[in-house]
Amino acid sequence: MMELRRSSERGHADRGWLRSFHSFSFADYVDLRHMGFGNLRVINEDFIAPGTGFGTHGHRDMEIVTYVVSGELTHQDNVENGQPGQGHQALISAGDVQRMSAGQGVLHSEYNRGSQPTHLLQIWIQPYRLGVPPSYEQKHFAPLSKRGRWCLLASQDARQGSMQINADAAVYASVLGGHDALEMPLTAERSTYVHLVRGQLDVNGYPLQAGDALKLSEESSLALRHTDDQPEAEVLVFDLPASISKALKRAAA
């Protein structure tokens, strides 16, 4: 089963300094048909004006992945080595991916201190283990590591050099151009969420444009096709449990 979600169908908020598009219900945008997909709870596409950002705020018991498309973001938090303290500050630039396990609770701020708008995706995944010490990880993924191939950004076991998350999920990225094509075998025990970051791409026969998404359940394969007359495409693919109950069952174990 496949379900297409067009970019124009997402929730939208414009605060002047921040333009945000919500794939799932978030803040003032509530749509009971789109509360998440499996344990994938949030995909917010944010455009943050220079000199602005999110003041100090808190999170807990959520795996938060930030994917910077362009520009930069300054992150500061109150946690150091899993314990409240001086915390640390980090600069996240285009090509960088940040992983923050909020766990028992973390306070942080995010600002665009650069001279250009920052374009990013913030992703929330529900963890299978609650109340863990908060932790932080950041890694740069060079363009060549994503060019025409699957680049694993985050997983529960940190395989293939990916960042480790406390969730039954794997997050892949790829950049396709020319006549690039990619396939991934799928099983009925897993679901797949495809989010097109930029460009145009054919996904299992569906033409996707930037901001579009495709949900796949009980499918045997994922097939991405790019043609030479299309703009270069950048895509995120989420490998998820088939149901939220399966995703969270380890939390109750």
Which of 73, 202, 224, 84 shows the shortest CA–CA distance to 148? 224
Is residue 29 a contact partner of residue 11, using CB atoms and an 8 Å limit? Answer: yes
Q: For residue 83, what pLDDT is reported?
A: 53
Structure tokens at 171: 């997050």
Cα 62–Cα 100–Cα 75 angle in degrees, nearest 5: 125
Tell me the whole-structure pTM to 2 decimals: 0.93
Is residue 191 a contact partner of residue 241, using CB atoms and an 8 Å limit? Answer: yes
Ramachandran category for residue 188: left, alpha or beta (phi over 0 → left; psi -120 to 50 → alpha)? alpha
Q: For residue 76, what pLDDT is reported?
A: 92
**Residue 74 CA to chain centroid, in angstroms?**
18
Per-10-residue mean pLDDT of the chain, 253 residues long, equals: 97 97 96 95 98 95 97 90 65 95 94 97 96 93 95 97 96 96 95 97 97 97 93 96 65 47
Q: For residue 81, what pLDDT is reported?
A: 52
The CATH number given to 2-252 is: 2.60.120.10
Structure tokens at 136: 């932080």
As a whole number of angstroms, the distance between CA 125 and CA 127 comes to: 6
Domain boundaries, the chain: 2-252
| pLDDT tens digits, 50-100 | 999 999 999 999 999 999 999 999 999 988 655 555 667 899 999 999 999
